[in-house]
Amino acid sequence: METKSWLERLPWVKIGLAVLFFVIYTVLTSWKFALLIMWGIGVHENGHLWAMRRYGMPTKGFFFLPFLGGVALGTGTLSSRWKHFVMVIMGPIWGLLSAVPSVIAYLISGNLYFAAGAIFICFFNLFNLVPMSILDGGQMTSSIAFSFNKTVGLVVIGAGVALAALILPRFNFLIAILVIWTGINQFMNEYSLRHKPDSMHKMDARYKTYAILSYLGLAALFYFSISAIAAWSHIGTLKQVFTILLK
């Protein structure tokens, strides 16, 4: 009797994880908040998938991961650090766009739930830009750093691990362990390959400049978006955001 591989079962795995994700967050919070999180994650991960397909990488879709977020799955590798950077940054860019419907709904209705939802989505994506291993920020800064040389790349990965160990345990121990463990493994893998040719083409000076400005500019755009929505809605703190979303 022939058994199916887990790859052949991907559609069922994705559906099962999505249902599990919705059920868990509905029980812990509310069905509205569960849908808001899934909307933000879904659009964000589709941004990664769009870039993968644009560069010819086969994809298997994305998965919701309860308590962790989501992950876009591609097969194969990209040929350059620039393409990898673009693939990663497209997640937060699409994530920013996912807040637009909530902003429009708030401006039309005046309902604070929509304003709080837009702030939450922007904050979630801004946090994801922090330069720590598997977070998008960590992957983007690594692409830039390794385009200088491998020593700079290793220093950036190591700094990201140290930052994760300093900050994340205060917020979510599970995510802290995952990010730190992944960062250490990435560091060890890159260290073992330090004398071998880079498998991806480095960015030249022009593309490194584009990448740095894009990364910093996107972070600033999220910050000013959060500030603007907060000013319009008079929502002053994240505590207020969660109070509105969870009531």
Residue 69: strand pairing partners: 65
pTM over 0.85: yes
Other CB atoms within 10 A of residue 19 CB: 11
Per-residue pLDDT of the chain (247 residues; tens, 9 = 90+): 344 445 446 678 888 999 999 999 999 999 999 999 999 999 999 999 999 999 999 988 899 998 888 999 888 888 899 999 999 999 999 999 999 999 999 999 999 999 999 999 999 999 999 998 889 999 999 999 999 999 999 999 999 999 888 888 877 777 788 889 999 999 999 889 888 888 889 999 999 999 999 999 999 999 999 999 999 999 989 899 999 999 8
Q: What is the Cα–Cα distance from 97 to 53, expressed in whole angstroms?
A: 19
Q: Please say whether the beta carbons of 143 and 84 come within 8 A.
A: yes
Can you say how many angstroms the Cα of residue 137 is from the centroid of all Cα atoms in its chain?
Answer: 8
Q: What is the Cα–Cα distance from 8 to 61, expressed in whole angstroms?
A: 13
Residues of 211-246 as b/e, b for ≥16 C-beta within 10 angstroms?
Answer: beebbeebbebbeebbeebbeebebeeeebbeebbe
